[in-house]
Structure formats: C-alpha cells, structure tokens
Amino acid sequence: MALVIIAIAMLMRVASSRCAPVCHLGYPTHGTEVSGHDEDLIHFSLNLEFLEAEMFLWNAFGYGLDHAAPELVNGGPPPIAPQKANLDSLTRNITGEFGLQEIGHIRSIIRTVGGFRRPLVNLSAANFAMMMDEAFGHKLHVGSLHSALLGYVGANSFLIGYLSKRLVAGLLGVEDAVVREYLYERAAEVVWPYNHTVAEFTSQISELRNRLAKCGVKC
C-alpha cells in the first residue's frame, strides 16, 4: 500500500499541473502588492502545502512537520493515519526533497501573508483507495486529497497582486518536471497492488482531475 501511496502522490502532482497557466512574471508598474483577495487564495494554497508537506515527509522519512518543522504547525492536529512508504532509494530521495521544499513553501506563505493552524488532513490508505476508485470509475465516492490538490491552478488564474503571482508561480515550480520524467521512465511498470500500469494511472488521474477542475474553463 505504501508504494501505491507514493505513486498516487506523484501522479497527483502531474495531474494537478496539467493545465497550469503560463504566468508572466515580473513586477507591474502599478497595482497592489498583495490584495486581500489574494491573501484568501494563498491561504487556501497553504492548506495544500500542509497536506503535501505531511504526505511527502511521512512517505520519505516516517515523520511529518511535528518533527521536521514544529514551529509551522501552530497548534494544529496531527495528520490521520500517515505512513512511511516502502520506497527505493531514488524515490525516497526525491520524495524527501519534495517534503523539504514544501516546508520552504509554507515558510514563504507565512512570511508573505501570515499563516494559521495546520488543518486536519486524512492521509489514510482508505482515502487514497477511494480516489483511485473514482479515477477508474468503479465507485462514486470523492476522496479528500484530489480536490485539495487542484487548488493551485484554479487559484492562480484569479490572483491580482503581482507578489502573490510570483509566490504561487514559485510554488508550481520544479517538482512537476521531476515527477513527469520519473513517471515517463516508469510508464510500463505495474503499480502494486493494482493491476494497472503507471501510464494508465497517469491518464485516469489526469482525466479525473480535468473533470473535477473543469480545466478548459478555469485555466
């Protein structure tokens, strides 16, 4: 199950970035730095950052923010049913790196617009299983993870303040490219315990993601 969790986590990142808009960076000549509206959207993103940080850290190291960066937790409850994943060395290294990057993202957000208590996140295997069932169309349940991971793309298209845009563009960065390549190299591998390949998962999850985000409309 642990391998599935990390595979799904990585697939979700690809799926969630599929229709990422191209941001034109740089400082505009006028406008506010961070509008109140942007703060709301970035705070929304902070929920995702907490989720991702906990997931990657736990998968890679077997502990989360409570151990890695307790000052960021701000009294929030620990995640439900997180697990260390059974990963090969390369995958663990990549995953751990992502976890550490998420800590940096949370710090940037808190520095820019302030923070809040870590929300309760449910990282149980049952939740991941539910998401997969939905991607493959065998059940109608909606898991909690995927809807959360859709946040960036949607939020980014509404941002007004340029500082916010730069911040969010930074958050959308390097990880997705790494994950894409990683998955591409493993496209033909079967994802245990499912009888489906990485390529099938990528495609199903991308479709699920597009259905949920109404990609063409939003981006």
Ligand X SMILES: *[C@@H]1O[C@H](CO)[C@@H](O)[C@H](O)[C@H]1NC(C)=O
Tell me if 138 contacts ligand X by CB under 6 A: no
CB atoms within 10 A of CB 81: 12
Q: Residue 158's closest CA among 9, 23, 18?
A: 23
177 binds ligand X (CB under 6 A): no
- Does the footprint of ligand X cover residue 60 (CB under 6 A)? no
Q: At what angle do helices 36-61 and 162-171 cross, to 10 degrees?
A: 20
What single-letter amino acid sits at 94? Answer: I
* Residue 124 binds ligand X, judged by CB under 6 A: yes
- The one segment of 36-44, 85-93, 97-105, 107-115 that binds ligand X by CB under 6 A: 85-93
Taking CB under 6 A as the rule, does residue 93 contact ligand X? yes
127 scored as a contact of ligand X (CB under 6 A):
yes
| Choices 106-114, 122-130, 132-140, 179-187; region in contact with ligand X by CB under 6 A | 122-130
Closest approach of Cβ 137 to ligand X, in Å? Answer: 16
By the rule CB under 6 A, 126 interacts with ligand X: yes
CA angle, 123 as apex, 54 and 72 as ends, to 5°?
25
Tell which one of 22, 90, 188, 217 touches ligand X (CB under 6 A).
90
For the CB of residue 27, give the shortest distance to ligand X in the complex, in Å: 38
Rule CB under 6 A: choose which of 122, 157, 203, 210 binds ligand X: 122
The minimum distance between CB 28 and ligand X, in angstroms, equals 41
Nearest to 58 by CA among 73, 49, 68, 71: 68
DSSP state letters, 155-203: HHTT--SHHHHHHHHHHTSTHHHHHHHHHHHTTTSB-TTSS-BHHHHHH
Amino acid of residue 149: L
CB of 141 to ligand X, least distance (A): 8
Binding residue for ligand X (CB under 6 A) from 22, 195, 216, 217? 195
Cα gap 104→145, rounded to integer Å? 21
Q: Where are the beta strands (DSSP E) in 83-138?
A: none
Quick one: which of 22, 26, 71, 89 contacts ligand X (CB under 6 A)?
89
Stretch that binds ligand X, among 36-44, 47-55, 87-95, 167-175 (CB under 6 A): 87-95
29 binds ligand X (CB under 6 A): no
Residue 184, token pair as written in the block: 């591409």
Kindly give, in sequence order, each residue whose CB lies less than 8 Å from that of residue 167, ignoring residues fewer than 6 positions away.
42, 108, 109, 112
Given the rule CB under 6 A, which residues bind ligand X? 80, 89-90, 93, 122, 124, 126-127, 130, 195
